[in-house]
Chains A and B, each alone.
Chain A
Amino acid sequence: MGDTDSVLGRLVGSPRARLAALLAPSGGLLVALLFAPLSFMVAVSFARVSDASRIIWHPTAANYTALVDATPFWSTPFVTSLLLSVGIAAATTVVCLVAAYPVAYALARRDRGRRVVFFLVLLPFFTMYLVRVYSWYLLFGDGGVLNDIATVLGVGPVDAFGFGVPAIVVGLAHAQFPYMLLTLYAGIEAVDFDVLEAARDLGASRRAVFRDVLLPLTLPNVVAGSLFVFVPAFGSFVAPRFLSGSTVLLVGQLIAGRIDSFNIASASAAATVVVVLIAAAFGVAARYTDASAGGDH
């Protein structure tokens, strides 16, 4: 694509200047409100904070060593909450994937009712997340609607309907589901189904076609959708609080709690570790999707 193709491009002189004019506003916004604050946070994570909440710029790794300062090291609140966050985010991702793939497939293969289904999927997505969490708070719990119904049906109070990790996973999956569905739909819709038919005609079983053809073709979307579910779930803050009766502490809550107690340096260190882990996950995933995305479009 040559730069003469561009319309806006002719507004300014050299290609370099044109690019600058087009990218500077968004770049500036990103630098000012993403890179600068995050860099500052990383810097603070290596500083000390005085009793009067003033930052003392004296380099130290103490905030990091404190994160793993226990025997065994994974028994610190930070590592414990980090592992729990990973577990809950992974469970949420699996729930979304299993729930969404068949729906995305059905939507991609059938025209009938597609618009209505999309409307019904997008509307909850557009409803306020806090409100949905509140609604799950009413549904779950020993005295929640689900247990009321279970009791009426005579199956008694069900443990899984109480507050706790299952409730958190349901609440988070509900919140992130549309990201997964839309991403999977885009991938499945782009698949040439004649290829699948051909494989079937040649005697391949449905399972084999799914495993050997459809899944590999849509793998980049599976990975992308999973990231869109996993990352917000990993850093979640509201759902774990209200859907566990505040009995668990995910890493996002732990960081927020340390900010609330003016423990800025230790919160920054924990947040920096989280960012590095997420960046690493993205690096791996990006490599993977790029490598396999070739045949997709």
Chain B
Amino acid sequence: MASPSTRSRLLGHALSAWTVAVLAVLWLPLVVIIVLSVAENAATILPFTGVTLAHYQATLQDGALLGSVANSATIATLASVLATAVGVPASVALVRYDVPLSNAFRVAVVLPMVVPGVVLGIGVLISIRTLPGITPGFVPTVLTHAVYGLPFVVLLVSARLAAVDDTLADAARDLGASPLVAFRDVTLPAIAPAVASGFLFAWVRSFEEFVRAYFVSGTTDVLTTEMYALLAYGTAPKLNVIATLVLFVLAVVLAVAMTAGDVVSAVTAGE
């Protein structure tokens, strides 16, 4: 029979091993893609025939694909700016005020996260098809993605607001600062990491969102619909390359974000 301390050490090792195993599974597909992006035979890993940068060259020369990346980035930026712009005031209202039906509003704000993308996508699609003068395309995609990003902003920002002591803002106003100045100089800096995290989440969610875009983007080609076409009807090499490039860009952004602000606590403070 092992002693209690041995058992607790064993348990610790088991937890470490489990964590490593889970991380390995999380990373397995990414490693496959990174390897394939430089593999001569981009269809599958075995047999491995050699290393090449030809797929990168072909991808960077594909104007349509790069155009769709630009479209996606534009849509993600506009959608997350909009989500942040409407989400921060809503968070302030929910946390700082006794809002009538605040629970109902809180649930409503979270709904875009839990209504399946297929359902929301077709709901928006059949609505705009029926309305005169609106067609699926750029603007509907931005708006649909803004709604999709809203819960991330509100959850992160209101959690932060709840944790921030607002007596400082009161003090600032007592000292004669206007409400807007007090908000800008006192409250906003305090919640800035959460606002930034919310924006980042909303941006990434939009950038990688497929199903809603599939239904409402119309003839605006976004990266995910283009990738879906490549997946179903096209060639794999470019998919691997785009994925690897996106991975590296996001790795840098995330590393910077995690160093600059406490993304983890912002993300996990939601509960």
Q: Which residues of A contact B (CB under 8 A)?
A: 1, 3, 5-11, 15, 18-19, 21-23, 25-30, 32-38, 40-41, 44, 55, 99-100, 102-103, 105-107, 114-115, 117-124, 126-139, 143-145, 148-149, 152, 174, 177, 182-183, 185-187, 189-190, 206, 220-221, 224, 227-228, 231-232, 234-235, 237-238, 242, 252, 255-256, 259, 264, 267-268, 271, 274-275, 278, 282, 286
Contact = CB atoms under 8 A, between A and B. Distances in A.
A106 B16 contact: yes
A237 B214 CA distance: 11
Given A19-B99, A23-B90, A135 B33 contact: yes
Given A23-B89, A106-B19, A127-B30, A238 B211 contact: yes
B111 interface: yes
B107 interface: yes
A127 B243 contact: yes
Given A118-B258, A143-B44, A186-B269, A7 B32 contact: no
28 contacts: A6-B179, A8-B183, A23-B89, A26-B154, A41-B119, A102-B18, A102-B19, A106-B16, A107-B19, A114-B264, A118-B263, A124-B30, A126-B208, A127-B246, A129-B210, A131-B243, A135-B243, A139-B28, A152-B46, A174-B25, A235-B118, A255-B119, A259-B125, A264-B126, A271-B118, A271-B119, A282-B114, A286-B107
B180 A8 contact: yes
Contacts of A119: 254-255, 258
Given A139-B32, A145-B46, A256 B86 contact: no
B119 A274 contact: yes
Contacts of A34: 108, 111-112, 115, 120, 147
Contacts of B122: 41, 255-256, 259, 267-268, 271
A133 B207 CA distance: 16
B147 A238 contact: no
A234 B116 contact: yes
Nearest to B188: A7
Contacts of B223: 128
Contact of B182 (A7, A252, A256): A7
Contacts of A29: 82, 86, 143, 146-147, 150
B107 A7 contact: no
A38 B239 contact: no
B268 A186 contact: yes
Interface in B117-151: 117-120, 122-127, 130, 143-144, 146-147, 150
Given A11-B180, A21-B89, A186-B271, A177 B97 contact: no
Given A41-B119, A134-B236, 16 more contacts: A1-B95, A26-B90, A32-B143, A33-B146, A122-B267, A127-B208, A133-B231, A145-B32, A148-B46, A186-B271, A206-B11, A227-B114, A238-B211, A255-B122, A256-B122, A271-B118
